[in-house]
Amino acid sequence: MSRGGQLTGGQSAGGKPAGGKPTVGMLGTGRMGGSMARALAAAGFELYLYNRSPERARALATELGAHAEATPAEVARHADVILSSVADGAAVEALYEGRNGVIAGLRPGSVVADMSTVLPETILGLEKSIRSHGAGVLDAPVSGSVSLATAGKLTIMVGGTERDLERARPVLEALATNIFHTGPLGSAAAMKLAVNAVVFGLNQALSEALTLAEAAGIDRSIAYDVLAASAVGAPYVAYKRAAFMAPEETPPAFSLELAQKDLRLIGELAGAVGSDVAQARANLQLLIDTAATEGAQADISSVAAHIRRSARGRAVAAGAGRTRPAV
C-alpha cells in the first residue's frame, strides 16, 4: 500500500517500499520523536507510528502520510527498524514488554534502537528477550534540539554490535550529521548522560552570565550575542537564544521536570561507576529551586528567570531592611 494513506493496527505494509528502503517504526511521537518522524518522512521512509496518546500519533500520521498503529507490537510487525523515544526507563519497559509490547511483535532480522535518555541497565535488561526473537538491539540516544531533529542534523551515540548498527545505519543517517559508535550495548546511554551533565552545567553558567551582564547594565540581546560569539559559544547557546531572549513567547523544549530526571540518572550512574559529579548535584538543586518558582514544566532556560526573581527578592528585602525604623 502506498504511503499516502493512513493505516491502523492489523494492516500490513506489504514489504519494503520501492527503492529498498527499510520500513521504520517510531514509538513515541512527542516533541523529539515527532520531529525525528518528520525528518524520516522527508527522507522517503515508510513510517509506522505509535504513541501512548493515540490521537497524537494519528494526527502526525495524517500530516506525514504515515501509518498510525494501535499498539507497539503492531509497529514491530511492520517495521524493519524500530526507534523508540520516551520519557524514562519505566516508559521504555512498558513500551517493550507485555502482550502488546514491541518484543511481542518483533520479526527476525529487524533491529530496535532505543533513543531515550535512560540508564544503561534499561536496554541491557531487554536485550535477551529482543534477541530471542532474532532481532538486533541498540541504544541510540541523541544530542540536539527539536529543530535539529526535524532537519536531520542530530548527533547520535550508538551502543551495540557493529552488525546491528549497520542494519540501522540508513535510518540513523537520515537523522544525524554525526553518528558515534561508543562501544557495547549500554555505552551510548552512559555517554548521553555524560553529555547532558555538560548541558546542564552550561545552562546554569549561561543563565548566571547573562543575568550578571544585565545587572551590570548591558542589554540582554547584546550580552547574549557576545556570549554566543565568544569561546563559550557552543551549539546549545545558539539554539537556545529565543528561550533566553523571549521566554514568555518561546514554548518549552526541555522541561525542568525531565532535566531533574536526567540529573538523578547522572547521579545514579556516577555512583555505580565510582565517579564524582559535584556540579551535577549542584545543578539538580538549582533546577529543584527553579521549578518551585517557575513551574516544573518550564524550560530549563527558566533558570535565568529564577535568578532574576531571586535577585529582585533580595533587593526588596534589603530595601525593607534599610527603611525599617529603629526599635
Whole-model pTM over 0.85: yes
Residue 317 lies in a domain: yes
**Domain stops at, among 136, 168, 184:** 184
CB 102 within 8 A of CB 76: yes
Strand ranges (E), 7-124? 24-27, 47-50, 67-68, 81-84, 111-114
Work out the mean pLDDT of the chain and round it to a whole number. Answer: 92
Residue 54 pLDDT level (bands cut at 50, 70, 90) = very high
If asked whether residues 173 and 197 sit together in one domain, one would say: no
In this prediction, residue 7 carries a pLDDT of: 34
Q: What is the pLDDT of residues 4-20, one digit of tens each?
A: 333 333 333 334 544 58
Give me the CATH number covering residue 197: 1.10.1040.10
Range of the domain at 102: 24-184
Neighbours of 157 (CB within 10 A): 25
If asked whether residues 222 and 306 sit together in one domain, one would say: yes
If asked whether residues 214 and 169 sit together in one domain, one would say: no
pLDDT at position 2 over 80? no
Residue 243 lies in a domain: yes
What does the block give as the cell for 131? 534477541
Residue 310 lies in a domain: yes
Cα→Cα distances 13→86, 107, 111, 147, Å:
24, 13, 17, 29
Q: What is the pLDDT of residues 291-312, one digit of tens each?
A: 999 999 999 999 999 999 999 9
pLDDT at position 228 over 80? yes
Residue 250 lies in a domain: yes
The SS3 call for residue 49 is strand
If asked whether residues 92 and 231 sit together in one domain, one would say: no
Residue 2 lies in a domain: no
If asked whether residues 142 and 212 sit together in one domain, one would say: no
In this prediction, residue 314 carries a pLDDT of: 82
In this prediction, residue 89 carries a pLDDT of: 97
Q: What is the pLDDT of residues 90-138, one digit of tens each?
A: 999 999 999 999 999 999 999 999 999 999 999 999 999 999 999 999 9
Closest CA to 175 of 158, 196, 151, 197: 151
Q: How many domains does the chain have?
A: 2
What does the block give as the cell for 126? 531487554
If asked whether residues 164 and 219 sit together in one domain, one would say: no
Distance CA 272, CA 254 (A): 26
If asked whether residues 199 and 261 sit together in one domain, one would say: yes
What does the block give as the cell for 138? 541498540
If asked whether residues 177 and 201 sit together in one domain, one would say: no
Cα→Cα distances 17→44, 80, 94, 287, Å:
9, 11, 30, 46
Q: What is the pLDDT of residues 55-91, one digit of tens each?
A: 999 999 999 999 999 999 999 999 999 999 999 999 9
If asked whether residues 50 and 89 sit together in one domain, one would say: yes
Residue 1 lies in a domain: no
Give me the CATH number covering residue 32: 3.40.50.720
The predicted model gives 138-157 an average pLDDT of 97
In this prediction, residue 316 carries a pLDDT of: 80
**Domain stops at, among 184, 208, 240:** 184
Residue 323 pLDDT level (bands cut at 50, 70, 90) = low
Residue 202 lies in a domain: yes
If asked whether residues 33 and 153 sit together in one domain, one would say: yes
**Domain stops at, among 153, 184, 215:** 184
% of the chain beyond a pLDDT of 90: 89
Closest CA to 153 of 180, 179, 176: 176
Distance CA 268, CA 316 (A): 39
Q: What is the pLDDT of residues 239-290, one digit of tens each?
A: 999 999 999 999 999 999 999 999 999 999 999 999 999 999 999 999 999 9
Residue 322 pLDDT level (bands cut at 50, 70, 90) = low
Q: What is the DSSP string of 170-206?
A: HHHHTTEEEEEEEESTTHHHHHHHHHHHHHHHHHHHH
Judging by DSSP bridges, how do beta strands 67-68 and 142-143 pair with one another? unpaired
Crossing angle for the helix pair 31-42 and 54-64, to the nearest 10 degrees: 20
Lookup result for grid cell 537564544: 241
The predicted model gives 151-175 an average pLDDT of 98
Judging by DSSP bridges, how do beta strands 111-114 and 24-27 pair with one another? unpaired
Residue 168 lies in a domain: yes
Cα→Cα distances 44→16, 22, 173, 177, Å:
12, 10, 13, 17
What does the block give as the cell for 160? 551495540
If asked whether residues 28 and 166 sit together in one domain, one would say: yes
If asked whether residues 284 and 179 sit together in one domain, one would say: no
